[in-house]
Amino acid sequence: MKISIVYHSESGNTEAIARIIAKGTLSVDSVNVKPMSIADIDEDFLNQSAAVIFGCPTYAGTFSHQMKSWLDSASLKKLEGKLAAVFATENYLGGGADTALMGIVGHLLVGGMLVYSGGVAHGHPYTHFGAVCIREGDEFQQQRALIFGERIAKKAKQLFR
Ligand SMILES: Cc1cc2nc3c(=O)[nH]c(=O)nc-3n(C[C@H](O)[C@H](O)[C@H](O)COP(=O)(O)O)c2cc1C
């Protein structure tokens, strides 16, 4: 089962979290995961993916304009019916990452994706709208990102195996 991680990252923080989330997905059997910058998308892999996890930096309290531009020009029809999840990085607590996540989620709903956060049903660590890290994340935030990846992969397998 293929899982794509589509991210925008200028200074490397979001890319680092994408790689941690990817590692988390690999704790689920038969997952083939590919983190991809929006500047270098493997369209075939993306189209074949059961789940797509999107991440970007927070800019001015919302998601980056580069990610918005990518989402605006992506063929959302191809993403229809896939599981989706989101993550974001920010510089400081309260910097707007939650708003960034909800902005991306709006696009994914328009595209008919099945958005999943992991929720709070699994207990600690809680993810509300998606994974959030301050810059490259401290140990706790990185661990949460790892578990986030695992939970998304488990759900994708449950739905699409
Ligand atoms: C133009 C711009 C606007 C930003 N706005 C915010 C913001 O509103 N809140 C915040 O917490 N961080 C903000 N940041 C910081 C980035 O979200 C943060 O450093 C992020 O981790 C960078 O990700 P990257 O290394 O993947 O590019 C901003 C950075 C830039 C370049």
* Separation of CA 112 and ligand 1 centre (Å): 28
Per-residue pLDDT of the chain (161 residues; tens, 9 = 90+): 999 999 999 999 999 999 999 999 999 999 999 999 999 999 999 999 999 999 999 999 999 999 999 999 987 778 999 999 999 999 999 999 999 999 999 999 999 999 999 988 888 888 899 999 999 999 999 999 999 999 999 999 999 97
* Separation of CA 61 and ligand 1 centre (Å): 9
| Closest CA relative to residue 130, chosen from 147, 116, 111 | 116
pLDDT value of residue 161: 79
- Burial (Cβ within 10 Å: 0-12, 13-18, ≥19) of residue 55: buried
Helix (H) / strand (E) containing 151: helix 139-160
- d(CA 34, CA 7) in angstroms, rounded, equals 11
Q: Is 60 in the pocket of ligand 1 (CB under 6 A)?
A: yes
Q: Is 64 in the pocket of ligand 1 (CB under 6 A)?
A: no
pLDDT value of residue 151: 97
Measuring CA to CA, how many Å separate 38 from each of 1, 26, 49, 73, 154?
21, 22, 16, 11, 25
Q: Is 59 in the pocket of ligand 1 (CB under 6 A)?
A: yes
pLDDT value of residue 10: 98
Q: Is 117 in the pocket of ligand 1 (CB under 6 A)?
A: no
* Separation of CA 5 and ligand 1 centre (Å): 19
Q: Which of 58, 68, 104 to mutate to test the pocket of ligand 1 (most atoms within 8 A of CB)?
A: 58
* Separation of CA 88 and ligand 1 centre (Å): 10
At 14, the amino acid letter reads T
Q: Is 58 in the pocket of ligand 1 (CB under 6 A)?
A: yes
At 1, the amino acid letter reads M
- d(CA 126, CA 133) in angstroms, rounded, equals 13
In order of start, what are the domains of the chain with their CATH numbers?
2-160 (3.40.50.360)
pLDDT value of residue 12: 98
pLDDT value of residue 152: 98
Using CA positions, which residue lies closest to atom 9 of ligand 1? 95
